[in-house]
Chains A and B, each alone.
Chain A
Amino acid sequence: MTAYTTKFGSLKDYEKGSIQIVQGEATNYAFSNVFEVAEHATAYDKIVVGLNQKYVIETVRAEGQSVWYTASHDEFVVVMDGEVRVDFLKLKSTVNVEIEGTQLAGELPDGTPMGYVVLKKGHQAILPAGSAYRFEANDPSVLLIQTIKGPLSLEKWSEICLK
Chain B
Amino acid sequence: MNQIAHIDQVEVTGKDAITGYQAFKLGNFSITRDEYFAKVTWVAKGQEHSHLMSVDAFLRAIMRDVAWGFFYGWVNFDHVIGTQNHYGSVDFYAGTFNGVLKDAGVDYVENFATPKIMATFKAILHDWVNAGFDPFAAPEETGSAFGRKNGENIEAIDRYRIATKRMPSLEGDSPLRDDLEINRQFADVNQDEPLIHCEPGFEGQLGGFNLFKYLSRSDVTWNPSVTSVCKASLFCPTTEEYILPIFHGNDRVEWFMQFSDEITWDIGDKVDGAPIARIVMKPGDICAMPANIRHQGYSTKRSMLLVWENATPDLPEKFASGELAPYPVAF
Contacts and interface: CB of A to CB of B under 8 A. Distances in A.
Interface in B238-280: 252-255, 257-262, 274-280
A34 B199 contact: no
B12 to A, nearest CB: 42
Nearest to B197: A115
Interface string A12-41: 001111111111101111111111100000
A99 interface: no
Interface in B283-331: 283-290, 301-302, 304, 308-310, 312, 315, 324, 326-331
Interface residues of A, number: 69
A74 B166 CA distance: 8
A66 to B, nearest CB: 17
Contacts of B202: 88, 90, 114-115
B284 A3 contact: no
Interface residue tally of chain B, by bracket? 35 or more
B235 A76 contact: yes
B328 A52 contact: yes
B163 interface: no
Contact of B167 (A16, A27, A73, A76): A76
A124 B129 CA distance: 37
B313 to A, nearest CB: 12
B286 A31 contact: yes
B190 interface: yes
Contacts of B259: 8, 122
B99 interface: no
B1 interface: no
Contact of A115 (B206, B309, B315): B206
Given A9-B284, A120-B192, A17 B260 contact: no
A152 interface: no
A115 B65 CA distance: 42
A73 B227 CA distance: 16
A126 B285 contact: no
A104 interface: no
B308 A57 contact: yes
Interface stretch (B42-50, B145-153, B179-187): B179-187
A125 B206 contact: yes
Contacts of A4: 184-188, 301-302
A121 B212 contact: yes
B196 A115 contact: yes
Nearest to A146: B230
A153 interface: no
A139 to B, nearest CB: 17
Nearest to A145: B230
Nearest to B280: A17
Contact of B282 (A14, A22, A115, A131): A14
Contacts of A34: 257, 284-286
B286 A124 contact: no
Contact of A3 (B166, B187, B277): B187
Given A50-B286, A122-B213, A128-B206, A147 B230 contact: yes
A120 B211 CA distance: 10
A158 B205 CA distance: 39
Contacts of B184: 4
Contacts of A7: 260-262, 283
Q: When A and B form their complex, which 10 residue pairs have the shortest distance between CB atoms, in order from nearest?
A: A122-B212, A9-B283, A125-B208, A9-B284, A157-B331, A55-B233, A31-B287, A118-B195, A115-B198, A52-B310
Given A53-B315, A117-B206, A155-B329, 5 more contacts: A9-B283, A18-B280, A24-B277, A76-B167, A114-B205
